Chains A and B, each alone.
Chain A
Amino acid sequence: DQQVKQNSPSLSVQEGRISILNCDYTNSMFDYFLWYKKYPAEGPTFLISISSIKDKNEDGRFTVFLNKSAKHLSLHIVPSQPGDSAVYFCAANFGNEKLTFGTGTRLTIIP
C-alpha cells in the first residue's frame, strides 16, 4: 500500500519557469512532510519541510504548500535552473515514526 504517491514519474520544465512537483498521501496521521532531491548514484539531500500546522513554507527558490483537507502537497521551484534537474522525493511521517517516501519525480530543466 503506497501511502505517499507521486503520480508524475517525470516532468520537463523550461529554464526560468516554475516547476511544480506534486505529492499525495493517504495516511491522515502524517503530520510532517519533507522534500528530498536526489542525483543518480548519490544519497538524497534534504530540501525543505513543512509541519501540518502550516500550509506554506518558503526557502529561497523553494516553496512547499500543504493542503491537509486534500491530503496533497506540492513543491514549487522558481525560477527553475539546470542544476535543479534531479529526482525529487516527497516523504512523510508522524510523531517519531519512520519516513515514508513517495516514488519520486524526475525533473528535467531544459536550457
Chain B
Amino acid sequence: GAVVSQHPSWVICKSGTSVKIECRSLDFQATTMFWYRQFPKQSLMLMATSNEGSKATYEQGVEKDKFLINHASLTLSTLTVTSAHPEDSSFYICSACGLWSYNEQFFGPGTRLTVL
C-alpha cells in the first residue's frame, strides 16, 4: 500500500525557535498533501491542504504566517512552525493522496512537537 513518512517523529525545542517537519510519500506521487493537528483526546483538525507547486489553502483560524507549508515536489511537503510557543505543542500528522483517489488519504506516523 501507499506509504507516507514523517520526519522527525518527535522534537523538543525552545520557545521562539522554528521547527520544520517533513512529510514524504515513499512509493507514490502525492498531488495533494494535508496537514493535521491532534490535541490529546481530540479529533484530527485539518490545518491546511497543499497541492504541489501552489500555495497551501489554510483552514479558518490557522495562521499561515506561523505554519508555513511548502509542497515543492510530488513526494515532499514541509510544515514549518515559526517562532514556536508552548501552545504549539501538539501531535502533527500529514496525509497524502494520489491522482487515483482523493478520498483515501494515507497518513504519516505523526510528529510529536514539544515546545519548552
Seen from chain A, the residues whose Cβ lies within 8 Å of a Cβ on chain B are: 9, 32, 34, 36, 41-46, 49, 89, 93, 96, 98-99, 101-104
Say if the beta carbon of B113 comes within 8 Å of chain A: no
Q: Which residues of B are interface residues toward A (Cβ below 8 A)?
A: 4, 6, 34, 41-44, 46, 49, 91, 93-95, 102-110, 112
Q: Measured between C-beta atoms, what is the minimum distance from A57 to chain B in Å? A: 13
Q: Say which residue of A44, A45, A46 sits within 8 Å of B44 (CB atoms).
A: A44
Q: Pull 28 A–B residue pairs with CB atoms less than 8 Å apart, ordered by A.
A: A9-B41, A32-B103, A34-B103, A41-B91, A42-B109, A43-B4, A43-B93, A43-B94, A43-B95, A43-B107, A43-B109, A43-B110, A44-B93, A44-B107, A46-B105, A46-B107, A49-B104, A89-B43, A89-B44, A93-B102, A93-B103, A98-B34, A98-B46, A99-B103, A99-B105, A101-B44, A101-B46, A103-B43
